[in-house]
Structure 1
Amino acid sequence: MSTTLAPGVLPGLAVACGAVFGGGLVAIGYGAVRRAAREERPGLRRALTARLPADWTARRVVIAVMTGVVTGALTTWPVAAVLTTVGMLTLPGLLGPDRQTARRTERMEALALWTEMLRDTLSAAAGLEQAVLATADIAPAALETELHALATAVRAGRPLPPALRAFADDVEDPLADVVVAALVMAAEQQASQLAPLLGELAESVREQVAMRQRIDAGRASVRTGVRVTVITTLGMAVGLVVFNRPYLDPLNTPTGQMVLAVVGVLFAVSFTYLTVIGRIEEPVRLVTASPGRVESGIEPGGAR
């Protein structure tokens, strides 16, 4: 007795089996990542992981992979599974609000406010260390965690210069490095006229914030155009799959899959280019804190 399978069933079964196998591997990897006491050795894998976007959490990756698997099983197109997975990982950041830029602007405003607070406190004849401790207790919300850690380190007896370097390393902002560099020089060399310098730095930071806000206003139209293009393209593709599937029958062949892959790559390159041209290049950081030296309270110049 022979059984004849309908066309497209075997590819669908193959995709489904591959989906189950891939889902199992992803589940195993996700469970390994969530181990609390896991120690990672520095190497190629860690370097590659560090280059991934910060919002690519393990949960998001699992959801993207499973959605791609379901898409591949329903369409019997392996390329569609890959494109769906990549789209689930990248499109939310492209279409959604630019939270990273908004957060950076908020932290820059908080940095300018804290710098002005330091200037005013120093003008009242307080020492630099006392000024840092006093302003950290009423820190702006965007830098509250970092300034609280700075005050805790100083109260624990750590010298002010390495504590400031650790603060700059926590903030990870080139403008914060400029402010910290001025504070470190004042702490190490007893520089005079620090309050006027801090006032000029605060004014410079506010000018940077205003410039970024103008740039963001110009980028808004570009992001809107990208959203319209992406939504229209995806809507047309989904509409063809759901309402006019015979029109897409040529994609069932290997040649059709190759064409679909080329189209997907072209769209990916276009969206990447639109993202790159709207990105602001950050200046090189001035202050870095070596983890080992920060822990031991040792500065690059020697023991303290």
Structure 2
Amino acid sequence: MTSFDWGSGTVTAVAVGCGTVCGLGLVAIGYGVMRGPVREERSGFGRRLIARLPADWTSRRFVIAVTVGLVVGALTGWPVAAVLTTVAALTLPGLLGPDRAAARSTERMEALAAWTEMLRDTLSAAAGLEQAVLATADIAPAALEPEMRTLAAAVRSGRSLPGALRAFAAEVDDPLADVVVAALVMAAEQQAGQLAPLLGELAESVREQVAMRQRIDAGRASVRTGVRVTVIVTLGMATGMVVFNRPFLDPFNTWTGQAVLAAVGGLFAASFIYLSAIGRIDEPVRLITPTAVTGTGVAPGDQP
């Protein structure tokens, strides 16, 4: 078996480690460009960079990805292979696996529509808005149960209903929830009439958004299936050549071969990032931003 002439094992390990760290930096920069702006309350370059990384990039996942990359780099003697393996271990599970984030978002939208309908029905029974919120908090859908418990506790503790609703919207962190909360806050502050019919229209609108999201998810499922097949075939072919026909890959034992391997891997990475970007759904602009609630949990001007 031909190996790349690095001089010593120490030099090889250092080269693989430096290449892996460099690759991680490039991945972080790439995801920072693709993701939306971070929240304004976060400051510092390090925090902004971490905030732009995917939420499922945990410390454990980083350690596993780097370890796998180092092992592949040591077995092949190719620093570029170590970098590409590390990047693949970080990104491919989220790209090829089930879209859990979209499923959770759809479930929360359905729960929001159900809660809005509960409020409408309770208000139709001549109950006040605060009483309706407290009554529906105990029977809220499971996807909104933690947030509803917090909302009910805030109202029962004596906090004003508008302030508690704004905190609820910040905790739910969903544009559609902002629309519902804005209508409730307006009704609580200005005693707006015809709130029950308005809530019915909002619930119907949320239901339509859920149906549209489900149609989009169904269309994206076929794309994700095609990507899975492409990635599995590509990785299987590469692994088979490394294991069963290593002499065929001897040209990659040179610096020129490493440069070609890096270019090919970069093209695959760019294509996968593009597929992920076009499959992402841009959320509407938030009506109630998290900065509306201060660090003490009380909105400006909100007094119990």
Counterpart check, 1:139 vs 2:140:
yes
1:60-71 maps to which residues of 2 (within 5 A)?
60-71=61-72
Distance verdict in 2 for CA 1:222–1:7, change over 3 Å: closer
Match for residue 215 of structure 2? 214
Counterpart check, 1:16 vs 2:22:
no
Q: For residues 240-279 of structure 1, give each alpha carbon's deviation from its aligned partner in whole angstroms, at most 9, with x where no partner exists.
A: 1101111111111111111010001100111111112222
Match for residue 73 of structure 1? 74
Match for residue 130 of structure 1? 131
Counterpart check, 1:195 vs 2:196:
yes
Q: What is the Cα deviation at residue 280 of structure 1?
A: 1.5
Match for residue 105 of structure 1? 106
Letter in 2 for 1:16: A
Match for residue 38 of structure 1? none
1:29-44 maps to which residues of 2 (within 5 A)?
42-44=43-45
Does structure 2 retain, via aligned residues, the 8 Å contact 1:12–1:73?
A: no
Instruction: Please give the alpha-carbon distance, in whole angstroms, between the structure 2 residues aligned to 1:259 and 1:291.
Output: 51
In structure 1, the residue corresponding to 2:282 is in which secondary structure?
coil
TM-score, structure 1 as length reference: 0.87
Q: For residues 60-91 of structure 1, give each alpha carbon's deviation from its aligned partner in whole angstroms, at most 9, with x where no partner exists.
A: 01110111011111111001101001000000
Instruction: Please give the alpha-carbon distance, in whole angstroms, between the structure 2 residues aligned to 1:17 and 1:298.
Output: 52
Q: What is the Cα deviation at residue 105 of structure 1?
A: 0.4
Instruction: Please give the alpha-carbon distance, in whole angstroms, between the structure 2 residues aligned to 1:292 and 1:183.
Output: 17
Distance verdict in 2 for CA 1:89–1:11, change over 3 Å: farther
Match for residue 96 of structure 2? 95
Does structure 2 retain, via aligned residues, the 8 Å contact 1:161–1:188?
A: yes
In structure 2, the residue corresponding to 1:10 is in which secondary structure?
coil
Instruction: Please give the alpha-carbon distance, in whole angstroms, between the structure 2 residues aligned to 1:95 and 1:215.
Output: 17
Distance verdict in 2 for CA 1:277–1:292, change over 3 Å: closer
Distance verdict in 2 for CA 1:21–1:268, change over 3 Å: closer
Q: What is the Cα deviation at residue 152 of structure 1?
A: 1.1
In structure 1, the residue corresponding to 2:281 is in which secondary structure?
coil
Distance verdict in 2 for CA 1:292–1:250, change over 3 Å: same
Q: What is the Cα deviation at residue 14 of structure 1?
A: 2.4
Match for residue 261 of structure 1? 262
Structure 2, unaligned runs of 5 or more:
21-41
Q: What is the Cα deviation at residue 10 of structure 1?
A: 3.3
Match for residue 228 of structure 2? 227
Q: Which has the higher contact order (CA 8 A, sep 6+)?
A: 2
Match for residue 39 of structure 2? none
Letter in 2 for 1:15: T
Greater Cα shift, 62-71 or 276-285: 276-285
Q: What is the Cα deviation at residue 15 of structure 1?
A: 2.8
Distance verdict in 2 for CA 1:171–1:125, change over 3 Å: same
1:245-284 maps to which residues of 2 (within 5 A)?
245-284=246-285
Instruction: Please give the alpha-carbon distance, in whole angstroms, between the structure 1 residues aligned to 2:147 and 2:121.
Output: 20
In structure 1, the residue corresponding to 2:56 is in which secondary structure?
coil
Distance verdict in 2 for CA 1:20–1:278, change over 3 Å: closer
Q: For residues 199-244 of structure 1, give each alpha carbon's deviation from its aligned partner in whole angstroms, at most 9, with x where no partner exists.
A: 1000000001011111111111111110111111111111111011
Query: Percent sequence identity over matched residues?
Result: 74
Structure 1, unaligned runs of 5 or more:
1-5, 24-40
In structure 2, the residue corresponding to 1:191 is in which secondary structure?
coil
Greater Cα shift, 287-296 or 13-22: 13-22
Instruction: Please give the alpha-carbon distance, in whole angstroms, between the structure 2 residues aligned to 1:160 and 1:185.
Output: 11
Instruction: Please give the alpha-carbon distance, in whole angstroms, between the structure 2 residues aligned to 1:235 and 1:144.
Output: 44
Q: What is the Cα deviation at residue 20 of structure 1?
A: 7.6
Instruction: Please give the alpha-carbon distance, in whole angstroms, between the structure 1 residues aligned to 2:292 and 2:73.
Output: 45
In structure 2, the residue corresponding to 1:61 is in which secondary structure?
helix
Match for residue 286 of structure 1? 287
Q: CA RMSD in A?
A: 2.0
Q: What is the Cα deviation at residue 21 of structure 1?
A: 9.2
Distance verdict in 2 for CA 1:275–1:22, change over 3 Å: closer
Match for residue 182 of structure 2? 181
Does structure 1 retain, via aligned residues, the 8 Å contact 2:117–2:203?
A: yes
Q: For residues 82-123 of structure 1, give each alpha carbon's deviation from its aligned partner in whole angstroms, at most 9, with x where no partner exists.
A: 100100000001110111111100000000000001111111
